[in-house]
Amino acid sequence: MSSHLPAAASERRGLLNTLGLHRPELRAWAMYDWANSAFICTITNAVFPIYFVSVAAAGMRGPEATARYGWATTIGLAIVAILAPILGTIADYAPVKKRLMGTFMGIGVAATAVMFFIMRGDLLLASILFILANIGANGSFVFYESLLPHIARRDEMDRVSTAAYAMGYIGGGLLLVINLLWIQKPEWFGFPSGEGLTAAQATFPARLSFLSVAVWWLLFSIPVFRRVPEPPVTASTEEEKATPALRLAFSRLGETFRALRGYKQAFLMLIAFLIYNDGIGTIVRMATVFGTELKIDTGTMILAIVIVQFVGVPCAFLFGTLAGKIGAKKSVFLALAVYVGITILGYFMKTGRDFLILAALVGLVQGGAQALSRSLFASMIPRHRSGEFFGFFGVFEKFAGIFGPAIFSVVVATTGTSRNAILAVVVFFIVGGILLAMVDVEEGQRIARAEEERVGATQIV
């Protein structure tokens, strides 16, 4: 039948199959990455952090404003990390994955849209909305990610996940470019510009970018709710049905934790990842806040985030190639070494040019470090337990991002400068690297394969 298709249609189908997006539900699922990455780029990484420090916290000393932003980040992520296992358990025993995903997405979209009304000195409002937006976005991710095993076969999941990851980079970067043009060239779009503007007029392009994120996020989320079916629920025992969701969630989390400890190398890898990934998250989240404190031009900082987005996609694939030649563990070590250099250079950073160089370095290693960490962990766990172990991995991944901003804020409050806080982040990479060096990958893989053989191939497939 395919032989009768026009050549262009046949090529398109071949490309979609290669990418792992050959069915409507797979494309619809991946579109949510395109949708929510606008929030990650514009709100979490680029425009809002600058706006928070320079407008919402106007009149406050730079280091103090930076610390306030760090605490707001920590609070939002901590709440989600605590809620994640509870919400995941509820969704496993009731057909509510899409409903809960939509609820959290609605919270995030609404909070982001209301950011349009943040004006000079509205620090409390900005903090509350940022915390709510983080809870909404990251809460929706719990259910979004849980849909993948229900729509993709095991041999498709890597391709589908990678394609969604790339779509997120492109979608978030595309809206960020539009936001950058609004902010840097408002006259091109008929927005107020020039001298003598009121506070509302001067901040209009930035506030409009927050509103655009909410619209973008909502609009491009429609496919996942229309095309992806609600997955069937896990069969419950009578005892589980009678157990309160909170108690059941922590009981299951405890069981998985005890089981994972039996795989020493995978568990050590997980701890190492928690620590160094916290350093990666801190650099991404706090970079523009630090740059604002140093009076680096807003346009330069947003351009830097765009660079990270578009450099990240090809470099993630390049790191995959590198891992095939020298191994995943050595490739992650290389990325961590680059991050150590980034933190040291960040301490001495003074100009916009320095900021752009650091952005290029982050883009070089960010995607590769995180992607290879996941695959390295996956190679040291038995396939028949990958679901529960990766559920635990997800909880650790959410906690990675809490401690870094908190320590960043404490160092700023203690020393009075963000330079020392940036330098302190190097500890995450050093400690994480030391723990990673202690991981015996070959031993971990041997134990995992032996367990697979013991259980038997029929239970693994």
Q: In angstroms, what is the C-alpha Rg of the chain? A: 22
pLDDT in tens, 6-20: 555 555 666 677 666
Q: How many CB atoms lie within 10 A of CB 218?
A: 17
Ramachandran quadrant class, 196 (left: phi over 0; alpha: psi -120 to 50; beta: rest):
left
Give the residue among 226, 258, 366 at the shortest CA–CA distance from 304. 366
359's tokens? 């952005």
What pLDDT sits at residue 168?
84
What pLDDT sits at residue 457?
45
Query: Which residue type, as a one-letter code, is found at position 347?
Result: Y
Is 207 in contact with 115 (CB distance < 8 Å)? yes
Q: Which spans in 379-424 are helix H?
A: 386-399, 403-415, 418-424
429's tokens? 């990479």
How far apart (Å, rounded) are the C-alpha atoms in residues 397 and 216? 26
9's tokens? 């249609």
Q: Which residue has the tokens 């609009």?
A: 219
Q: Which spans in 94-235 are helix H?
A: 97-114, 123-151, 157-184, 199-202, 204-219, 222-227
What pLDDT sits at residue 157?
65
182's tokens? 């609004």
Instruction: Tell me whether residue 154 is exposed, middle or buried, using C-beta atoms within 10 angstroms of its C-beta: 0 to 12, 13 to 18, 19 or more.
Output: exposed
What pLDDT sits at residue 427?
93
Q: Which residues of the chain, if any, have pLDDT below 50?
A: 1-3, 5, 457-461
434's tokens? 């030391």
What pLDDT sits at residue 340?
95
